[in-house]
Amino acid sequence: MNQPRTGIVLLNMGGPEKQEDVRPFLYNIFSDRQIIRLGPRLLQKPLAWLIARKRAPKSAATYAQIGGGSPITSITKQQQQALQQALSGDGDFLVTTAMRYWRPFTETAVEELLAARVERIVALSLYPHYSRATTGSSLNELKSRLTRAAYSGRLVEISSWPDQADYISCLAERITAGLDLFADKPVQIVYSAHSLPVSFIEEGDPYVEHLQRTIAAVEAQTGRPGRLCYQSRSGPVEWLSPATPEMIRTLADEGCQAILMVPLSFVSDHVETLYEINIAYRALAGEYGIRLESTPGLNTTPRFIAALRNLVLDHATEG
């Protein structure tokens, strides 16, 4: 019996690939009321335009330090290709990518899948930990585009996977390799996740709970405890704490001399890992006499691609 053709959509944030992309990329982010509400709805886009214009020069300078743009699109495309190959013996699958705030946009992915006449779509979030600001926004955009296109097939949502076995093993292996960099010297493991406004958690967002599930599963494998903090906050609201710079200063006060930082909510290297952790936070730690190393993104590690494959196969027949 022939299996129905299944489309796989990898959901991710996207990023500016070159300097001139930075301002419109920021505009797309700040136009999304699901992650930030800028006054009345009618003012959202005008205010987003003003904020993007103001922030673009600083953001562009940051991207300039990691090659001029974000590698997240190219890495996600590599993940897409690797997953397509990994699924080649499992059925009739077509893997594509939908970025939320930059090309390739969700609309493009939907057009590709409908042209291929897929009978089922599996939306696979590349955010292991669910938040309405990340996976939630991407899924809503996908469903909106499918509705506009009058898609009548099934949609399966893989919206979180904080303790998927292969993913956890990937992180544990990265940590073990990272600890080897310090030989036998004492090292503090620090998990750094993208921050969120506290209000999101108070309103029921499971993001922090998902992070804690990941850490518990990793520590069960490594036997090494770590501490959680949050990076990439912006704007005048209360954010999750402690912030990553605060954690570094706290550890300095405690006499820490070595940190292994694990970028917990990112599966691909991009500006938060390549600049914030490996440049800005490493420099801050150095000011306190602390050596800071980080674990690299999971990117196209075979075991991580196996995690994505197993997630697809575990859910592809749902709905």
In angstroms, the CA 307 to CA 106 distance is 23
With tokens 């299944």, the residue in question is 6
Binding residue per annotation — 254?
no
CA-wise closest residue to 171 among 212, 229, 209, 215? 215
Please tell me what DSSP assigns to residue 259.
Answer: E
CA torsion angle 60 263 266 282 (round to 10): 10
**What does the alpha-carbon distance between residue 238 and residue 109 come to, in Å, rounded to a whole number?**
35
Q: Check the annotation: does 157 bind a ligand.
A: no
**What is the distance between the alpha carbons of residues 28 and 43, in angstroms, rounded to a whole number?**
14
User: H or E segment at 143?
Assistant: helix 137-148
* Residue numbering of the annotated binding site for Fe(2+): 194, 272
Annotated binding site: 194, 272
